[in-house]
Structure 1
Amino acid sequence: MRSLPKGLADKVAAHLVAAGKLMDTDPEQALVHARYARHRASRIGAAREANGLCAYQMGEWTEALSELRAARRMGGGPGHIAIMADCERALGRPQRALELSRSAEAAELVGGEAVELRIVAAGARRDLGEIEASVVSLQIPELDPKQQEPWSARLFYAYADNLLAADRVQESFTWFVHAAHADDDGDTDAPERLDELVAQLGGDVDAEELVAEATAAGPAAVVESAEIDDAEEDDQHLDETPAAVVDDEADIPAAEVSKDADDEAAQTDRAVKASDPRGDESQ
């Protein structure tokens, strides 16, 4: 914000704080704040990033992708590649999502960000009809029911969902159980999916036995080696696609400020004046 005049910098910062606080509880209003900040500080990477993330929360895929691309050019690094790849999927371009997952920036990701990108890339392969490849691509060291990391529930759930798409129902049941056990925050609907599978499988399932076997065997041991070999061939075929990431914004129009920008600006200005970040209360 140092490149902005002091008064404008404080105002933009207040709107960014408001957007961050409202993103989970009122994403529509968060996007209003983020768009205003972006409108007043379009050359500030943090404003573009906030606009992109809030647009993503609201399902504004084109706007989110354009803003996050701009933020990445301004700040460098691998920021939010998983979200960008997910936007490409939502826009019906799974191949571009895969290209992003194989980019040099993607190789820099670690931990939860790397796992999230794996999940998105598996979904893109599934979009392309490469079901077994999507299963194999999630067989990573983090796919271990003995581990309980912040990303474990989503990874287990994605693996279970892809197993189900491959008609491997009993294995899918096991991993939905792992997902439900790891999901302390209710981020997935694993319990509901389990109810559906119990009805589908009837009395043929001993859930405790399946879970015990999977936990003792370790990550991905439920997959037969012959099936893995077949899927790896599909995976290698996919990897022949050039890894160049298309970063030309010619086909992605720049995100427009809301049509009622003036009204939104007036509304959010009143909010800022009521809670000046330089006073005793913060926005």
Structure 2
Amino acid sequence: MRPFSRDGGGSRSRYGSDQEAPEAKEREHLPELDADITPDELDKQARDELRSLPGDLADLVASHLVATARALEQEDPERAYEHAKVARRFAGRIGIVREATGIAAYHAGQYAEALGDLRAARRMTGSDDYLPIMADSERGLGRPERALDLVKSKEAERLDRAGRIELAIVESGARRDLGQHDAAVVTLQRIPELRDPQPKPWSARLAFAYADALAHAGHEAAATDWFGRAMAFDEDGETDAAERYAELTGALIEDVEEDFDETDETDETEESGEELPDLGDLLASPVRESVVEISEESGAQALAEPAGEKPGTAEAAASEGEKPAAGESAAEEPAKAAKRVVSGKAEKSEKAEESGVPLGPAFIEPDFGDVLEDPQEKSEN
């Protein structure tokens, strides 16, 4: 018997009962938009993708995408994700919407949801720009092996310069999750941009990731130098470089202290007899020429090891004092990508031509022989 036939075998009255009304109203609840938010704030490219929607609905979706970007800027990822989910509810088949929702979910720590939305966005747009966030989400789910699979995929070869750097940072974190600390260091040492003394949009992130890898590999002196280097690049405070540098040196950096009391500084200095470094002096000082020695055998073996041979998880790494994947691997650059996607704000310009950072040697040369040798060069020889 058909459950909803006219023969009386079923009833649809329960769908309209008063008992269901409160739940229905709850489902229809939308997060409140700030009064000054307008759909016109969304960039033109994103607005064009919403043209398939009716006018009023397109404005609603655009407004919630703008709210998503604003919440991310205000470091409120949970609220950003709530607004993004509204956009997805009404326009879930539009690539820009799924991309924004995936990025917001990633920053909110909803890694499974982030993967689902970003996979959908890839199918809709054909873009591979989301690979670093997807790989880091795999780390967040405790699956560093899958993160490495994405790193080695053919799609990864199509990433632009910034994307390749972010993916390398994620790879280094995944290696560390698996206990492959030497490989985590080598992964970043192979990046040519690590040698660049001029500030670029990725400079602070890359230097911080390298310093973090050195610290976990037991190279404290070199890590200290590189945290200082990351701090010099990090004018916007997108990393924890200043805090990590202070932890390793015991120094107090004035510019990163909020509500700093100069009287307290004077008292502490007099008691300890230690002269505290000024941030300006730190920026002008050269990086110490220390060498991180990683043998050819250990470096090559670490990079060649299958991911599954050293089981580990992002959670295990967090228990050793690391932050989850969203806090250290691909968090900051994807955050900028999210703002660009949903609000059209320009990416931070490269300041290399205007001013340099006189840091002396920009790279700690490793000692692991052929590990850094380009496979293509080998074939030519």
- TM-score normalised by the chain length of structure 1: 0.74
Match for residue 54 of structure 1 among 90, 104, 108: 104
Contact preservation (8 Å) 2:225, 2:287: no
Answer yes or no: is 1:174 the counterpart of 2:243.
no
Q: Which blocks of at least 5 consecutive residues in structure 2 are unaligned?
A: 1-49, 252-273, 275-280, 310-381
Deviation (angstroms), 1:95: 0.4
Partner of 2:188: 138
* Secondary structure of the structure 2 residue equivalent to 1:142: helix
- After TM superposition, give the deviation of residue 164 of structure 1 in Å: 1.0
| 1:157 and 2:208 matched | yes
Which SS does the other structure have where 2:73 is aligned? coil
CA distance in 2, matches of 1:20, 1:199: 37
Q: 1:222 to 1:110 in 2, by over 3 A?
A: farther
1:69 is matched with which residue? 119
Which is helix-richer, 1 or 2?
1
Deviation string 1:216-259 (CA, Å, 9 cap, x unpaired) is xxxxx8333x5254212220234899xxxxxxxxxxxxxxxxxx
Provide the alpha-carbon RMSD of the alignment: 2.6
Structure 1 residue 192: Cα displacement: 1.7
Distance 1:162 1:212 in 2: 17
Q: Are 1:8 and 2:57 counterparts?
A: yes
User: Contact (CA 8 Å) 1:136, 1:228: kept in 2 or not?
Assistant: no
d(CA) in 2 for partners of 1:6 and 1:86?
A: 36
One-letter identity of the residue aligned with 2:57: L
1:230 partner letter: S
Identity percentage over the alignment? Answer: 48
Q: How does 1:220-235 map to 2 (within 5 A)?
A: 222-224=291-293, 226-235=294-303
User: Equivalents in 2 of 1:4, 1:16: separation in Å?
Assistant: 14
Q: Distance in 2 between matches of 1:199 and 1:11?
A: 51
Letter in 1 for 2:52: S
Q: Partners of 1:12 and 1:198 in 2: how far apart?
A: 49
Amino acid at match of 1:233: Q
Alignment partner of 1:98 is 2:148? yes
Aligned with 2:237: secondary structure? coil
* 1:148 aligns to 2:216 (yes or no): no
Deviating beyond 6 angstroms after TM superposition, the runs of 4 or more aligned structure 1 residues are none
Number of aligned positions between the proteins:
229
Greater alpha carbon shift after TM alignment, 151-160 vs 102-111: 102-111
Q: Which amino acid aligns with 2:83?
A: H
The match for 1:109 is 159
Q: Which runs of 5+ in 1 are unaligned?
A: 215-220, 242-283
1:27 correspondence with 2:77: yes
Partner Cα separation in structure 1 for residue 203 and residue 306 of structure 2: 26
Contact 1:177–1:211 (CA under 8 A) maintained in structure 2:
no
- Whether 2:305 is the aligned partner of 1:237: answer yes
Q: Aligned partner of 2:73: which letter? A: D
The answer for the alignment partner of 2:247 in structure 1 is 196
